[in-house]
Amino acid sequence: MNYSDLPPLVTSADGRFRVVNSTLAMAKALENIQRVSFPDLSDADLMLEPHFASHIRIFPDGQHVVVDTQTNQIAASSSDIMLELDFNHYQHRFFPAVGEGYFTTHDPKAHWLYGADIGVLPEYRSLGLSSLLYKARQELVVRLGLHGHYAGAMPKGYGAVRHEMPIEAYLHEVIRNERFDPVISIQLKRGYRIYGVIPDYLDDPSCANYGVVIIWRNPNLPW
């Protein structure tokens, strides 16, 4: 199948890369992106081919891939689910929150889009593909009239310094641009804001098992 024939949602400035909705035929490729993007993630928290197939069946609008139109390669992907955000009880464990990876917790009446997964193949990194995916996600939020987009971001630089400082001090340095985190620093530049910290979010030593709740609010709504 020529993936470039699928309706484009977002296109790179040079036209080479297109964001399209995922199809069931892509599920195995999505598993591969997951595995290479999160080499430190425990097997229990990895999403595999059956999970991605379930995502596409349950909420097709929230599943995106970036296609390289020159090679027909699936270069990057993201998976989203509609979940309500309770600002008073935001701490959660990742896999149960997303229906053990199958998105059975998807709530079509929710006011928020939850970012469950994003990954880019190593050979396609630093080409702006994650920015294309975030643009597609945010456009989906606006199109559906949702309050915004949120996620449990992984502070992937914290694991290396976890014995030197608490996570709160680490994040304060990241917010003040005194320290670079490969995930959180990028999210802040995309307009996301940190709301809170989640201990025991998932099993990954690179972030010392922490998640950080990040929020992007729909700019078309009155706040």
The verdict on residue 119 lying in a domain is yes
* pTM of the entire predicted model: 0.94
The verdict on residue 179 lying in a domain is yes
Contact between 33 and 81 (Cβ < 8 Å):
no
Domains identified in the chain, total number: 1
Q: What is the pLDDT of residue 57?
A: 98
The verdict on residue 223 lying in a domain is no
**Token code pair at residue 218:** 């729909």
Residues 79-91, mean pLDDT to the nearest whole number: 96
Mean pLDDT of the chain: 96
The verdict on residue 183 lying in a domain is yes
Q: What is the pLDDT of residue 42?
A: 80
Domain coverage including residue 132? 3-217
* Tens-digit pLDDT profile for residues 132-155: 999 999 999 999 999 999 999 999
pLDDT over 80 at 223, yes or no: no
152-181 CB burial, b ≥16 within 10 A, e <16: bbbbbbbbeebeeeebeebbeebeeeebeb
The verdict on residue 222 lying in a domain is no
Q: For residue 25, what is the domain's CATH number?
A: 3.40.630.30
